[in-house]
């Protein structure tokens, strides 16, 4: 630490060189902190829990033909046949599919006559055992029984048969104690339904929707010319299961099938732009760390070249190699720390600009710490080689005049 | 003289290869990062219909539920970007603009009539009217748009994109051939040439940068086929409606159609809006349009802006990479300081034998310019690489977004030379200030 | 040729004021060969820098070729150095990454000579110092004496009327030093005025006259014969 004073003195004397490095570190720090924060936010967004057994589920859309009753008969005939397959654990029909970007939403109210609505929520309706098949976890109340299932050509919301909602929606409706929602009447647009159960997680059809965690489950299997089927596989081979299901489905003449994909694929395509942004941010963070290292490395290396004679003199006067390395590491640490301190101020300013221009969330202060660690680590790593080089300068440099 | 300076600059750069490499590399990386993000943004914000974009307008009506607002945007009430069937057909029948078109969506199975039935694929259709093609300057390879009477009679005629024609008819002139769309025979009347307006402004945000729909049919034909609403577009409803029944949807307050008009000049905008408002008042008198009237027409640029077609992610990325470039330039600047500092003795000598400050400034400027040019060229190459990687990462977006045009290539080089020169000014200034007498004792 | 009256130089740093030169009066005629002697730190180099327009002075007047130097701008001084003055340094100050030709050509580059004229002058100057055949060599391939010859050629290339030499033989062994001195004598014989700083009294005696600087004060006009080694 006795080196600290001469280091600070020489930094003040040198001014521009260290100042530039310091500025560079500050700017890098600013970008880094904001980028790392956005990176982790994206990470959270992409890896949000869906509540579904994604890797065991696939779905497709198929056409139904003929008169309404024929359509209905054909749908349930096929469903029964699919359920009896060895490679299928269960099969249900649903009006819309998570991540598929197609679905139905309702305005949610607790008071029918309220002017505004509390929130909007996506609406899933289908076979009575849809929740179990999807892998949803019931955490309060009860789910649907076979006796709840109705098979209609519309949603049948005018018949009160109860709904199951996601916990996120329950918390939105009753912020103080979400369990209160059980047994309460909720209005979906105009239609009154009683909440009979709550599931832990359920993701909506639109990944980008702000309300994607607010979802309602209902037990009307709706029949129309195009229906969605969701299959939970039995055993290891999803491919085998898909083949078996398609064999049954395609026995019907005129039948057309669309999509046919694993829910994991649907998730990947729903989030691909976020994933892409995530990769870009990752590249930015890595690039920044590299540039900082390059800057510190270049700066230190040439500072040492410039000071060969001075270092030689120190060595001649009895400084050990360790002392020389220590001197440069310390000098670098001082610049880094001042740079980071300045960077913190800039980062907060930049973050405020981002918040006001792009409606981003404020960076939690822990990220300032993460950024400091990355920059300080990269900077220190980069100065090691030049410092060791400096230490190997021979004391005889001191006496060499030209 | 300039040649002499460049010669000196080359010699000087060669003398310290590592330093020169670091300077050029940092600039190149900074430039590449900036240009990759800027290219994507630039291509996203291009004018999709040059020369016309201030005369094309989309019409938004306040037809929503009197009790509840359609939605809130930035805390304020907003109206639908779609139109009801009744309003779209009413306005279309009025023909008050130079040209007007209705844009809808549908998906169904489709194949060439000559193909076996197993070849049918699920296909996304674009039901619209014949004006669509001339309004958007769509180029035709074979044939032409269908006629106005095809529209009014809902005739089964179809226009295919170049790509779709390739799939169905191996790219041959397919005029007069037949295709089966959702079980109905359609006759090919036109094949488009390459047509990829970016952004695809006339529809929803999610389709803005994806492959365009390659099959166009008259809007009325999709209505006459009694195709109910498919699951590939958005429908927003209030009031009574039965989705499965197209007749019910047609009579409902459901909004699902885009409506665009072309005016003969941007100045006619006020007149047209006045007409729209008069229409709204008539409807109000008949009991519809009971909400506060916020009807509006937006031109292409306004609609793109409104629709947030260009994601804020992209703009943030530009700011991030610009800050990144500044970090790189600061780095390069400190390397230059070191470099020029090391040349103190040479500067002193040159000053002693009669070089003026201006001479010295020129010498180092040439060096800076070389660094800038090299950084620019390498940065350009890195940017191409970066864009290819970006194209893979953003595989769902159109690849044309990740291609530089000549303008951007020149911009890259200019940005590199300009920014490195700007950040070189101070090091050069410092070099010029070296006292001729101060370094002569040692070299 | 050169006339200084009352020239003084004061260095001011944060804490100390140093009087490097006081009240300097000196006149040198065209074609003269003058040696400057004195202990180290006495102000010899400061004097030479002022004479060569490399440094400003704090007081007094300095006329070079009857021109008042005080009033010149930096650029004008540069030009004057380039056209009228040649410099020879103790450590040669050749640029290692340039070959001999380019080194010698350097001062000519800051004048508007044609490429042909530059070529002629460089070859001329290199011939005078006997190194014309090595023009594409680099300085580090030469001995110290040869390097100093190149530096002299560089000083001569612009055909100055006035050569300033600061310990030109300081880094050389006596053999080489003798060669350099006789070269300087020859140059002086052809009419170029030389002002040489040295601490070697024997060399100093080769000049027409010797001036001595001690603690920034000039003892002028000691005839060379009177100085006893």
d(C-alpha A373, C-alpha A367), whole Å: 10
Closest approach of chain C CAs to the CA of B368, in angstroms? 19
How many angstroms separate the CA atoms of B403 and C42, rounded?
70
pLDDT of B311 strictly over 80: no
Residue A296 is given by DSSP the state H
Residue C226: what pLDDT?
A: 46
Each residue of B348-381: pLDDT tens digit? Answer: 899 988 899 999 999 999 999 999 999 999 999 9
pLDDT recorded at residue C150: 95
Facing B350 at nearest CB: one of C52, C80, C106? C106
Q: Which of B167-171, B250-254, B314-318 has the lowest mean pLDDT?
A: B314-318
Strand ranges (DSSP E) for B90-162? 99-103, 106-112, 121-128, 140-143, 157-160
Cis peptide before B279 (omega within 30 of 0): no
- d(CA B382, CA B32) in angstroms, rounded, equals 6
CA neighbor of B335 nearest in space, from B30, B3, B8? B30
pLDDT per residue over C44-69, tens digit each? 888 888 999 888 888 899 998 888 98
- Is the per-residue pLDDT at A345 higher than 50? yes
Tell me which chain C residue has its CA closest to the CA of residue B432: C74
- Burial (Cβ within 10 Å: 0-12, 13-18, ≥19) of residue B81: buried
pLDDT reported for residue A277: 77
Q: Provide the token pair at B337.
A: 């300081």
Give pLDDT, residue B146: 97
Q: Is the pLDDT of residue C228 over 50?
A: no
What is the C-alpha separation between B341 and B428, in angstroms, rounded? 10
Contacts of B20 in chain A (CB under 8 A): none
Q: Which of C52, C91, C110 sits opposite B359 (nearest CB)?
A: C110
Is residue A79's pLDDT more than 90? yes
Nearest to A225 among B25, B228, B342 (CB): B228
Across residues B436-441, what is the average pLDDT?
71
pLDDT-derived band at A2 (thresholds 50, 70, 90) equals low
Reported as a pLDDT band with limits 50, 70 and 90, residue A282 is: confident
The pLDDT-based confidence of B224 (bands split at 50, 70, 90) is: very high
Residue pair C24/C18 in contact (Cβ under 8 Å)? The answer is no
Measure the CA–CA gap between A287 and A279, rounded to whole angstroms: 12
Q: Give A235-246 pLDDT, tens digit per residue.
A: 888 999 999 999
CB C133 within 8 A of CB C150: no
Percent of chain A, pLDDT > 90? 38
Does residue A38 register a pLDDT over 90?
A: no
* Each residue's pLDDT tens digit, A363-388: 888 888 888 888 888 888 888 888 88
Question: What is the sign of the dihedral through the CA atoms of A334, A335, A340 and A345?
Answer: positive
Mean per-residue pLDDT, B411-423 = 92
C104-123 per-position pLDDT tens digit: 999 999 888 899 999 999 99
Write down the mean pLDDT value for chain B: 89
pLDDT at A398: 64
Higher pLDDT, B135 or A348: B135
Burial A225-249 (b: 16+ CB within 10 A, else e): ebbbbbbbbeeeebeebbebbeebb
Q: Is the pLDDT of residue A12 over 80?
A: no
B206: confidence class by pLDDT, cuts 50, 70, 90: confident
A257 three-class SS: strand
What's phi and psi for B218, nearest 5 deg? -60, 135
pLDDT at A1: 60
Task: Say yes or no: ipTM exceeds 0.90.
Answer: no
CA–CA gap between residue A26 and residue A14 (Å, rounded): 19
pLDDT at C85: 92
Helix (H, G, I), strand (E, B) or coil at C159: coil
Over residues C134-186, the pLDDT tens digits come to 999 999 999 999 999 999 999 999 899 999 999 899 888 988 899 999 999 99
Chain C residue with minimum CA distance to B358: C75
Residue B306 pLDDT: 86
pLDDT mean over B95-122: 89
- Position A402 scores a pLDDT of 39
User: How many beta carbons lie within 10 A of that of residue B7, not counting itself?
Assistant: 14
Does pLDDT of B273 surpass 60? Answer: yes
Residue C148: Cβ-neighbour burial (10 angstroms; 0-12, 13-18, 19+): buried
> Tokens 């680590």 belong to which residue?
A377
Instruction: Decide: A187 and A118 in contact? Cβ < 8 Å.
Output: no
Q: What is the mean pLDDT of residues B150-162?
A: 95
- Cα–Cα distances (Å) from B225 to B111, B127, C74, in that order, read 17, 12, 90
pLDDT for res B439: 66
User: Which of A250 and B69 is assigned the larger pLDDT?
Assistant: A250
For A179, what's the count of Cα atoms within 13 Å in the CB-facing half-sphere? 3
Structure tokens at C43: 């102000």
pLDDT at position A338 over 70 = yes
| Per-residue model confidence (pLDDT) at position B400 | 77
The C-alpha atoms of residue B131 and residue C172 are separated, in whole angstroms, by 93
Q: Is B440 exposed, middle or buried (0-12, 13-18, 19+ CB in 10 A)?
A: buried
**Degrees, nearest 5: CA angle A240-A242-A245:** 110
Closest CA to A98 of A324, A270, A331: A270
**Angle between the N-to-C axes of helices A321-358 and A308-316, in degrees from 0 to 180, rounded to the nearest 10:** 140
pLDDT at B434 over 90: no
| Region at C194 (left for phi over 0; alpha for psi -120 to 50; beta for the rest) | beta
- A112-144 pLDDT, tens digit per residue, is 887 778 899 999 999 999 999 999 999 999 999
pLDDT at position B279 over 60: yes
Query: Does residue B442 carry a pLDDT above 60?
Result: no
Cut 0.90: pTM above it: no
Read off the pLDDT of each residue in A217-231 and give the average, rounded to a whole number: 92
Q: What is the pLDDT of residue C222?
A: 57
Inter-chain CB proximity A24 and B30 less than 8 Å: no
Task: Between C211 and B118, name the one with better pLDDT.
Answer: C211
Which of the residue ranges A48-57, A289-298, A310-319, B198-207 has the most confident prediction, judged by mean pLDDT?
A48-57
Give the tokens for residue A157. Answer: 């919301």
Reply yes or no on whether the pLDDT at A97 is more than 90. Answer: yes
Kindly state the tokens that stand for A288.
């920044």
How does B277-301 read in b/e, with b if 16+ C-beta sit within 10 Å? Answer: eebbeebeeeebbebebbbbbbbbe
Question: Residues 75..114 of C with a Cβ closer than 8 Å to B: which?
Answer: 75, 78-83, 85-87, 89-95, 97-98, 106-107, 109-111
- The answer to whether C143 and C176 are in contact (CB under 8 A) is yes
The alpha-carbon gap from B340 to the nearest alpha carbon of chain A, in Å, equals: 11
CA distances to A134, A246, A271, B362 from A98, in Å: 10, 21, 12, 65
Question: Which residues in chain A are contacts of B109 at CB distance < 8 A?
Answer: 256
Subunits adjacent to chain C (3 or more Cβ pairs under 8 Å): B
Tell me what pLDDT residue A399 has.
61
CB contact under 8 A, B440 and C93: yes
Residue C48: which residues within 8 A CB-CB, separation 6 or more? C36, C164, C166, C195, C197
User: Which of B228, B232, B330 lies at the smallest CB-CB distance from A23?
Assistant: B330
Residue from B356, B304, B103, B134 nearest B217 by CA: B103
The residue-averaged pLDDT of B39-63 equals: 87
Q: What value does the mean pLDDT take over residues B70-74?
A: 80
User: How many helices (H) and strands (E) in chain A?
Assistant: 11, 13
Tokens of A277: 């942004």
Binary contact (B353, C55; C-beta < 8 A): no
Distances (CA, A) of C142 to A231, C152, C171: 87, 14, 14
How many angstroms separate the CA atoms of B111 and B238, rounded? 36
Selecting from A38, A280, A291 the residue whose C-beta is nearest the C-beta of B331 gives A291
A361 at interface of B, judged by CB pairs closer than 8 A = no
pLDDT band at B331 (very low <50, low <70, confident <90, very high): confident
Question: Cα-flanking dihedrals φ and ψ of residue B60, to 5°?
Answer: -120, 130
Predicted confidence at residue B210, as pLDDT, reads: 74
Among B26-30, B256-260, B309-313, B346-350, which stretch is predicted with the lowest mean pLDDT? B309-313
pLDDT of A392: 84
Q: Work out the mean pLDDT of chain A and round it to a whole number.
A: 86
Looking at the structure, give the CATH architecture of the domain made up of residues C30-56+72-220. 3-Layer(aba) Sandwich (3.40)
Q: Where are the beta strands (DSSP E) in B27-120?
A: 56-60, 71-73, 76-78, 83-84, 99-103, 106-112
Picking from A5-9, A320-324, A329-333, C167-171, which range would have the lowest pLDDT averaged per residue?
A5-9
Task: Please state the rounded mean pLDDT for residues A216-221.
Answer: 94
In this complex, the chains that touch B, judged by 3 or more CB pairs closer than 8 A, are A, C
Answer whether residue C199 shows pLDDT above 70. Answer: yes
- Name the residue ranges covered by the structural domains of chain C: 30-56+72-220
Q: Is B245 left (phi over 0), alpha (psi -120 to 50) or beta?
A: beta
- Given a cut of 60, whether residue C229 has pLDDT beyond it is no
**Phi and psi angles of residue A127, each rounded to the nearest 5 degrees, phi first:** -55, 155
Is residue A253's pLDDT more than 50? yes
Residues of A in contact with B316 (CB under 8 A): 38, 354, 358, 360
């Amino acid at each position: 630490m006795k080196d600290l004073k001469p280091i600070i003195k020489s930094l003040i004397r040198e001014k521009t060189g260290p100042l530039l490095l310091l500025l560079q570190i500050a700017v890098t720090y600013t970008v880094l902190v904001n980028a790392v924060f956005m990176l982790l936010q994206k990470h959270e967004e992409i890896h949000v829990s869906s509540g579904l057994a994604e890797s065991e589920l696939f779905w497709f859309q198929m056409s139904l033909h003929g008169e309404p009753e024929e359509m209905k008969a054909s749908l349930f005939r096929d469903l029964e046949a699919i359920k009896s397959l060895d490679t299928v654990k269960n099969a249900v029909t649903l009006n819309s599919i998570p991540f598929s970007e197609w679905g139905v939403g309702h305005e949610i109210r607790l008071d029918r006559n309220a002017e505004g609505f509390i929130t909007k929520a996506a609406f899933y309706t289908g076979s009575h055992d849809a929740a179990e098949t999807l892998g949803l976890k019931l955490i309060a109340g009860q789910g649907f029984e076979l006796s709840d299932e109705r098979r209609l050509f519309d949603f049948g919301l005018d018949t009160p048969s109860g709904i199951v909602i996601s916990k996120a929606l329950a918390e939105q409706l009753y912020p103080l104690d979400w369990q209160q929602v059980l047994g309460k009447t909720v209005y979906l647009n105009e239609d009154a339904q009683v909440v009979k159960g709550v599931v832990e997680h359920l993701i909506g059809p639109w990944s980008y929707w702000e309300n994607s965690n607010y979802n309602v489950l209902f037990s009307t299997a709706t029949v129309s010319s195009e229906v969605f089927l969701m299959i939970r596989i039995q055993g290891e081979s999803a491919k085998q299961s898909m083949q078996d299901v398609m064999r049954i489905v395609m026995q019907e003449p005129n039948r057309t099938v669309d999509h046919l994909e694993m829910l994991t694929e649907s998730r990947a395509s729903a989030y691909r732009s976020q994933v892409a942004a995530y990769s870009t941010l990752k590249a930015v963070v890595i690039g920044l760390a590299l540039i900082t290292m390059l800057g510190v490395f270049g700066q230190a290396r040439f500072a040492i070249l410039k000071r060969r004679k001075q270092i030689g003199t120190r060595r001649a006067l009895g400084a050990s190699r360790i002392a020389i390395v220590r001197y440069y590491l310390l000098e670098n640490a001082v610049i880094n720390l001042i740079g980071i301190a300045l960077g913190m101020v800039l980062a907060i300013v930049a973050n405020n600009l981002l918040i006001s221009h792009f409606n981003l969330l404020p960076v939690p202060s822990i990220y300032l710490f993460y950024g400091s660690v990355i920059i300080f680590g990269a900077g220190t790593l980069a100065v090691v080689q030049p410092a060791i080089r400096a230490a190997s300068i021979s004391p005889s440099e001191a006496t060499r005049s030209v | 003289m300039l040649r002499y300076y460049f010669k000196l600059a080359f010699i000087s750069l060669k003398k310290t290869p590592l330093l020169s490499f670091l300077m050029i590399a940092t600039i190149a990386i900074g430039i590449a990062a900036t240009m990759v993000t800027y290219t994507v943004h630039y291509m996203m914000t291009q004018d999709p219909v040059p020369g016309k974009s201030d005369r094309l307008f989309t019409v938004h009506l306040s037809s929503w539920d009197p009790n509840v607002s359609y939605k809130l945007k930035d805390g304020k009430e907003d109206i639908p970007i779609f139109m009801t069937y009744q309003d779209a057909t009413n306005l279309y029948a009025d023909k008050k603009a130079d040209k007007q078109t209705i844009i809808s969506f549908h998906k169904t199975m489709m194949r060439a009539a000559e193909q076996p039935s197993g070849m049918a694929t699920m296909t996304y259709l674009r039901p619209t009217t014949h004006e669509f093609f001339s309004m958007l300057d769509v180029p035709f390879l074979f044939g032409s748009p269908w006629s106005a009477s095809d529209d009014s009679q809902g005739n089964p005629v179809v226009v295919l994109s170049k790509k779709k024609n390739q799939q169905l008819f191996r790219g041959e002139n397919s005029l007069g051939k037949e295709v089966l769309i959702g079980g109905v025979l359609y006759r090919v009347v036109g094949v488009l040439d390459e047509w990829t307006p970016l952004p695809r402004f006339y529809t929803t945000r999610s389709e803005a940068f994806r492959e365009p729909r390659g099959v166009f049919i008259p809007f009325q034909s999709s209505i006459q086929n009694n195709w109910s609403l498919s699951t590939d577009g958005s429908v927003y409803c209030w009031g009574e409606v039965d989705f499965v029944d197209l007749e019910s949807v047609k009579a409902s307050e459901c909004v699902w159609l885009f409506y665009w008009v072309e005016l003969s000049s941007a100045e006619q905008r006020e007149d047209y809006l006045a007409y729209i408002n008069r229409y709204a008042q008539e409807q109000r008198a008949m009991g519809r349009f009971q909400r506060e009237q916020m009807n509006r027409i937006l031109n292409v640029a306004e609609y793109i802006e409104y629709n947030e077609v260009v994601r804020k992610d992209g703009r943030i990325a530009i700011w991030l990479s610009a800050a990144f470039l500044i970090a790189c330039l600061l780095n390069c600047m400190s390397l230059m300081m070191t470099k020029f500092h090391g040349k103190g003795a040479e500067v002193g000598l040159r000053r002693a034998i009669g070089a003026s400050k201006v001479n010295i400034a020129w010498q180092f400027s040439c060096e800076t310019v070389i660094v800038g040019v090299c950084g620019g060229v390498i940065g350009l190459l890195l940017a191409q690489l970066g864009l290819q990687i970006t194209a893979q990462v953003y595989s769902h977006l159109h690849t044309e977004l990740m291609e530089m045009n000549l303008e951007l290539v020149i911009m890259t080089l200019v940005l590199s030379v300009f920014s490195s020169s700007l950040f070189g000014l101070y090091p050069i200034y410092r070099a010029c200030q070296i006292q001729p007498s101060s370094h002569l004792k040692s070299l | 040729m050169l006339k200084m009256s009352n020239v003084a130089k004061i260095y001011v740093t944060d804490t100390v004021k140093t009087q490097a030169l006081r009240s300097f009066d000196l006149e040198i005629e065209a074609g003269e060969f003058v040696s400057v002697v004195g202990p180290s730190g006495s102000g010899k180099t400061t004097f030479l820098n002022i004479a060569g327009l490399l440094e400003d002075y704090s007081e007094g007047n300095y006329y070079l070729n009857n021109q008042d130097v005080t009033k010149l701008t930096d650029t004008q001084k540069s030009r004057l150095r380039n056209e009228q003055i040649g410099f020879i340094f103790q450590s040669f100050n050749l640029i290692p990454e340039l070959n001999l030709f380019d080194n010698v050509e350097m001062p000519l580059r800051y004048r508007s000579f044609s490429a042909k004229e530059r070529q002629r002058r460089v070859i001329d100057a290199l011939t005078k110092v006997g190194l014309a055949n090595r023009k594409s060599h680099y300085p580090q391939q030469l001995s110290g004496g040869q390097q100093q010859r190149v530096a002299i050629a560089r000083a001569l290339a612009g055909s100055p009327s006035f050569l300033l030499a600061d310990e030109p033989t300081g880094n050389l062994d006596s053999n080489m030093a003798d060669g350099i001195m006789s070269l300087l004598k020859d140059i002086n014989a052809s009419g170029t005025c030389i002002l040489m700083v040295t601490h070697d009294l024997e060399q100093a005696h080769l000049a027409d006259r010797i001036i001595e600087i001690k603690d920034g004060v000039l003892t002028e006009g000691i005839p060379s014969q009177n100085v006893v080694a």
